[in-house]
Amino acid sequence: MLTKPLDRGEISTLVSSPAPRITPLGEPFTMRFALLGDVHASPHLAAALDFARDQRVDQVLCVGDLCDGPGSLPDTVALLRSQTAVSVLCVRGNHDRWLLEDRMRDFSDAHFVKDISEEDRRWLAALPAVRELETGSSGGPTLVLAHGLFDNDMTFVRSHTTEHEVRDTPAWERGRKTFSRARWHVAGHTHERMVRTIDGLVMINAGTLHPAQDPGLVLFDTAEHFVRSFDVTREGAIAFRETLSLS
């Protein structure tokens, strides 16, 4: 696994509190999320956001890598910034960082800073590397949203990565200290839809929306012990794929 530490200033230290649905008196407080993997300027983004709205989620969580794909980067940013269909929280991925640094621009479908407005560039630059979200009462368990493993957008966890390999990374050590209340960790980078638990931390990867790489998304409710995985067809339709256990 690659481990390139990010500056501490790139971490969002403010705990975000998404606006929840109104929970009837006496029922436990829960949060419902739609999880978007690496976007890569996918033409399926609009369909995914519409689906999330129809599912009445409290928040859409996006793991970044918005650029470097087959679609329009300005259109991608506009959809994520509009917040009209559903509220979206996003973090920055390594491709977004490379775009802003004008590095690694030799991909066949790479975007360039000149492709976007100055306003959109500032929006991308302001995206944090990691966010922490409250999921209930203050002091309760939180959810960490990142692109890679906690604050490192180039450290990643796959379904076959050993627990020892994960726990041996500086990113894991820093993250477990910084986000001591975290129960869930939502990330991307690998394009592999995955759920696994390491040392009590439930790690969820929603995969990718890239049309050439098994596009899909995930629905997650903090009160449930599973997530629901969905595929996006070539036509942009959303189809149920499978249920993945969180245990």
Residue 25: the pLDDT is: 39
Look at residue 138 in the predicted model and tell me its pLDDT.
77
Which among 36, 146, 131 is positioned nearest to 93, based on CA atoms? 146
Give the neighbor-by-neighbor strand order of the sheet with 142-146.
130-134, 142-146, 182-187, 201-206, 193-198
pTM: 0.88
Interatomic CA distance for residues 220 and 28, integer angstroms: 16
Please give the pLDDT value at position 139.
Answer: 82
Lowest mean pLDDT among 21-30, 36-45, 112-121, 175-184: 21-30
Query: What is the per-residue pLDDT across 176-220, written as a single tens digit (0 to 9) for each?
Result: 999 999 999 999 999 999 999 999 999 999 999 999 999 999 999
> What does pLDDT average to over the chain?
89
**Amino acid at position 133, single letter:** L
Percent of the chain with pLDDT over 70: 87
CATH number of 31-245: 3.60.21.10
Ranges of each domain in the chain = 31-245
Residues whose CB falls within 8 Å of the CB of residue 11, separated by 6 or more in sequence, listed in order = 128, 129, 130, 151, 178
